[in-house]
Amino acid sequence: MLTSAQCRAARALVDWSREMLSERSKVSHRSIVDFERGAREPRVLTKEALARALEAAGVEFIPENGGGAGVRLKKGGKID
CATH of the domain at 25: 1.10.260.40
Whether 59 is covered by a domain: the verdict is yes
* Mean local confidence (pLDDT), 46-64: 94
- Structurally, the chain folds into a number of domains equal to 1
Whether 51 is covered by a domain: the verdict is yes
In this structure, what DSSP letter does residue 42 have? P
Nearest to 6 by CA among 75, 62, 57, 56: 62
* Mean local confidence (pLDDT), 40-69: 92
Position 40 pLDDT exceeds 80? yes
Handedness of CA 16, 22, 27, 29 (dihedral sign): positive
Whether 79 is covered by a domain: the verdict is no
Whether 66 is covered by a domain: the verdict is yes
Other beta carbons within 10 Å of 74:
11
Whether 78 is covered by a domain: the verdict is no
| Confidence at 76, pLDDT banded by 50, 70, 90 | low
Whether 25 is covered by a domain: the verdict is yes
In this structure, what DSSP letter does residue 38 have? T
Which structural domain range is residue 15 located in? 4-73
pTM of the model as a whole = 0.89
| Confidence at 68, pLDDT banded by 50, 70, 90 | confident
| Confidence at 78, pLDDT banded by 50, 70, 90 | low
